[in-house]
Structure 1
Amino acid sequence: MSTVSSSPVTPPPHSLASGISSLRSKWGWIVALGVIYLIAGVLAFGSVFFATVVSVLFVGAMMIVAGAAEIVNAFQFKSWGKFIFWLLLGVLYVIAGFFTFQNPLLAAVTLTLVIGVALVVSGIMRIFLAFSMSAAAPWGLVALSGAITLILGAMILARWPVSSLYVLGLFLSVDLICAGVSWISMGMALKRRT
């Protein structure tokens, strides 16, 4: 006759439960990270123009890094056609990144225009998608989401190029605040589970 052990069940070493249990002891650090994000978001919200410039400079830095990676990647190809294509693509990324650093306001104007057009197109596509969904699907929420996205894009484009002074900074501050709230919520939920 087998006996049932009363010892607690330990999760496998690489399971989700073991990952969550290892995070429980670090809930304070997770909350602290959320507070830092939240403070950064509020500060960015206080000066959206400065946050716009920071956003553009970050995009410029990422373009330079991506361009350098493309240039390095070009040397992996054996054929001249692919080598030239990837090399030119990398050089264009690097040049665009340096132009972004040279004139961040012009880059902000361009990025804001691209974001506004992308939001309008995305909103229209979501609305068309909603009306092609079946009645059992949540087509109303998809249509509402599309309408909000379309209106947001139209508002950005209606005030363009003036909107380029604050839109990117506003998006950055909202993103930082949402990320901060998420990290704080996750840390507090982990604390309650300890």
Structure 2
Amino acid sequence: MARAGTRGDSATKLHRGFSWLAVLGVLLVLAGIVGLVYTAVATLTSMLLFGWLLLIGGIVGLLHAVQARGTGFFWLGVIVAALNIAAGIVVIRLPHATAAALTMFAALLFLTAGFFRLVGGLVVRGPQLGWTLLLGAFDLLLGILVLGSWPSSSQYVIGAFISLALLFDGLGLVATGYGGRRIVGLVSEREQPGPA
């Protein structure tokens, strides 16, 4: 009897946990949609958040390095922490320039990935040749589009990418939460004893 009660409690906790997961997914989806509507604000916000994370991480790293003085880690920790602090200050003070630099970097990554996918697909000619060529062409086109309108594209590219990531992560969490609740419900129904 106590065992059945324990199972019921754990099923309730699982059900509640999956519900919170779905709620978090809905919040991420909403944040992604808002970010897609206001991509310039999303870009600026993400750059400032990135800068503050670098700065805080650098300060924490510096404190950790001070605690580890006398070891071989000390100078490496101080250098890495100083670089993080300096990068954080630069990003916070110049978020638009940082967004422009990251957009240029993303465009070059897309161009490089697209080129290597196309060439690699044509050389290897594996079973997924069509998909490889399609992805390579898509990466190449995306890189050309972003680079062609740079630096004005830096106002929306980073924000759009982050908003899309939030949107798809949120949809994944909603699906996981909803599916998990259904599975817990099905298992709970199956474990309930039938009428005597």
Q: TM-score, normalization: structure 1?
A: 0.77
Find the counterpart in structure 2 of residue 64 from structure 1: 55
Paired residues for 1:103-142 under 5 Å: 103-135=94-126, 137-142=127-132
Q: 2:79 aligns with which of 88, 102, 105?
A: 88
Find the counterpart in structure 2 of residue 189 from structure 1: 179
Identity of aligned residues (%): 26
Could you tell me which runs of 5 or more consecutive residues in structure 2 were left unpaired when the two chains were aligned.
1-9, 186-196
Whole-Å Cα distance in 2 between the matches of residues 20 and 152 of structure 1?
Answer: 46
Find the counterpart in structure 2 of residue 7 from structure 1: none
Report Cα offsets for 1:19-64 as digits up to 9, x if no partner.
9996444332122111111111111112111100111112212322
Code of the aligned partner of 1:177: L
Is 1:174–2:164 an aligned residue pair?
yes
Matched residue SS, 1:132: helix
State the number of aligned residues. 174
Could you tell me which runs of 5 or more consecutive residues in structure 1 were left unpaired when the two chains were aligned.
1-18
Matched residue SS, 1:160: coil
Larger displacement relative to structure 2 (182-191 or 84-93): 84-93
Q: 1:43 to 1:142 in 2, by over 3 A?
A: same
Matched residue SS, 2:124: coil
Whole-Å Cα distance in 2 between the matches of residues 20 and 145 of structure 1?
Answer: 43
- RMSD of equivalent CA atoms: 2.6
Whole-Å Cα distance in 2 between the matches of residues 23 and 129 of structure 1?
Answer: 46
Q: TM-score, normalization: structure 2?
A: 0.76
Matched residue SS, 2:150: coil
Is 1:53–2:50 an aligned residue pair?
no
Code of the aligned partner of 2:17: K
Whole-Å Cα distance in 2 between the matches of residues 20 and 105 of structure 1?
Answer: 49
Code of the aligned partner of 1:160: W
Q: 2:133 aligns with which of 130, 140, 143?
A: 143
Q: 1:20 to 1:60 in 2, by over 3 A?
A: farther
